[in-house]
Amino acid sequence: MTIALKPAHLRLPPGPVDLTAIDSGATPGVDDGKKAGEAALAGLGDELSALQERLYAEGVAGIGPGRAVLLVLQGMDTSGKGGTLRHTVGLVDPQGVRISSFKKPTKEELEHDFLWRIRKALLGKGIIGVFDRSHYEDVLVVRVHQLAPKDEVERRYDAINAFEAELAAAGVTFIKCMLHISAETQKERLLARLEDPTKHWKFNPGDIDERAHWPAYREAYEIALERTNTEVAPWYVVPSDHKWYRNLAIGALLHDTLSHMNPQWPRADFDVEEQKRRLADEKPVA
Ligand code: AMP
Ligand code: MG
């Protein structure tokens, strides 16, 4: 299958956001089904891996100002952040990837500004950073459950934009993905977890309580997406009712991003011929 799927299929246009108008079961840019989609993702693997290695090599060699990718995964429970890590991010060399999962903040984290723990998780040059949840929780769950004063939440959208602009200027390319599922899909996935004893560890009874807040979460997402959908850190809404499509779409976004960055193999900073001669002339070492 040739992949017609392009970032433009997923890019959230600027302006007000209505998530109910975006079909979470759609497969934009892909006409074939699951089998072909899985094969297409596997086909992307080699190239993704080669691009990532070049980015990493650039970072090690200290070429240019130092570049990195930051893949931000946001979505409701069961939307597939973990699955994306396994199936898509898992295609590249783990040495070049840093995954950070953001849970309920600790007491210490709560004593600092909300970006404190995020800054601590920032990456080095040449790395693909992946945020499993992120600073967006601080305007999502925090907004829905009023865990911070209203004016503090209001302040955070601009703070996020300033923070992301600062990182972008320092060489970070953002891929912000909202994993969009329907409430019905979440219900099916929670039920599947309950029916499979090997998945009980993933089940949290609180997730069912959170479902009562689905409309409030949708609204919080719509506000966050609209207010932080910037040129330097745009949002992609990834229809995620089909797991295979979600995995392929995020793979395609990563591939497109890395291709555009076009990282180059560093040139040797030594004389290759001279090093070959040294090995050839070597006296026995043992
Ligand atoms: P999970 O990703 O399913 O392991 O769950 C992590 C939980 O941590 C979710 O319920 C998030 O909403 C919660 N969480 C993450 N970041 C924050 C935050 N900044 N404030 C409050 N809760 C958070
Ligand atoms: Mg959970």
- pLDDT above 60 (res 267): yes
In sequence order, which residues have a C-beta less than 8 Å from that of residue 178 and are 6 or more positions away?
Answer: 12, 74, 75, 221, 225, 235, 236, 237, 238
Q: What's residue 3's pLDDT?
A: 73
Any alpha helices (H) in the chain, and if so which ranges?
A: 7-10, 34-61, 81-87, 107-110, 116-120, 141-144, 150-169, 183-195, 205-211, 214-227, 243-261, 272-280
Q: Mean pLDDT, to the nearest integer, of 86-114?
A: 96
pLDDT at 223: 98
Better pLDDT: 64 or 9: 9
Cα distance between residue 142 and residue 226, in whole Å: 17
At 242 the three-state DSSP class reads coil
Closest CA to 99 of 124, 137, 76, 129: 129
The mean pLDDT value of the chain amounts to 95
Give the pLDDT of residue 166. Answer: 96
CB of 104 closer than 6 angstroms to any ligand 1 atom: yes
Pick from 182, 243, 240, 178: nearest CA to 211: 182
Residue 195 above 90 pLDDT? yes
Strand order in the sheet with 128-132: 97-101, 128-132, 68-75, 172-180, 235-239
pLDDT on residue 286? 78
pLDDT for the residue numbered 60? 86
Ligand 1 atom with the shortest distance to the CA of 114: 19
Residue 63 pLDDT exceeds 90 = no
How much is the average pLDDT of 85-110?
Answer: 96
**Alpha carbon of 268 to those of 55, 61, 127, 278: distances in Å?**
16, 9, 21, 16
Tell me the β-bridge partners of 49: none
CB proximity list for 25: less than 8 A, separation 6 or greater: 182, 185, 239, 241, 242
DSSP state of 284: P
Ligand 1 binding pocket includes 137 (Cβ within 6 Å): yes
> What's residue 1's pLDDT?
52
Mean pLDDT across 84-107: 96
Q: What is the pLDDT of residues 108-148, one digit of tens each?
A: 999 999 999 999 999 789 999 999 999 999 999 999 999 99
CA distance 19 to 137: 18
Give the whole-number percent of the chain exceeding pLDDT 90: 93
Query: Measured between alpha carbons, how far is 110 from 132 in angstroms, rounded to an integer?
Result: 19
**pLDDT for residue 2:** 58
Residue 11 is classified by DSSP as B
DSSP 121: T
> 36: CA distance to ligand 2 center in Å?
30
Tell which atom from ligand 1 comes closest to the C-alpha of 135: 19
Atom of ligand 1 nearest to the CA of 101: 2
Angle ∠(53,85,190) on CA atoms, nearest 5: 170
Per residue in 225-264, pLDDT tens? 999 999 999 999 999 999 999 999 999 999 999 999 999 9
Proximal ligand: closest to the CA of 75: 1
Residue 142 C-alpha from the chain's centroid: 21
pTM of the model as a whole:
0.95
When pLDDT is averaged across residues 186-191 and rounded to a whole number, the result is 98
Closest ligand (CA of 100) = 1
Mean pLDDT, to the nearest integer, of 263-269? 92
Q: Is the pLDDT of residue 156 over 70?
A: yes
| Torsion sign across C-alpha atoms 83, 247, 189, 79 | positive
Question: DSSP code of 68?
Answer: E
Q: Identify the CA nearest to 172 among candidates 141, 127, 237.
A: 127
pLDDT in tens, 12-46: 999 999 999 999 999 999 988 999 999 999 999 99
Query: What pLDDT shows up at residue 62?
Result: 80
**CA 138 to centroid of ligand 1, rounded, Å:** 9
Q: Is 142 touching ligand 1 by the criterion CB < 6 Å?
A: yes
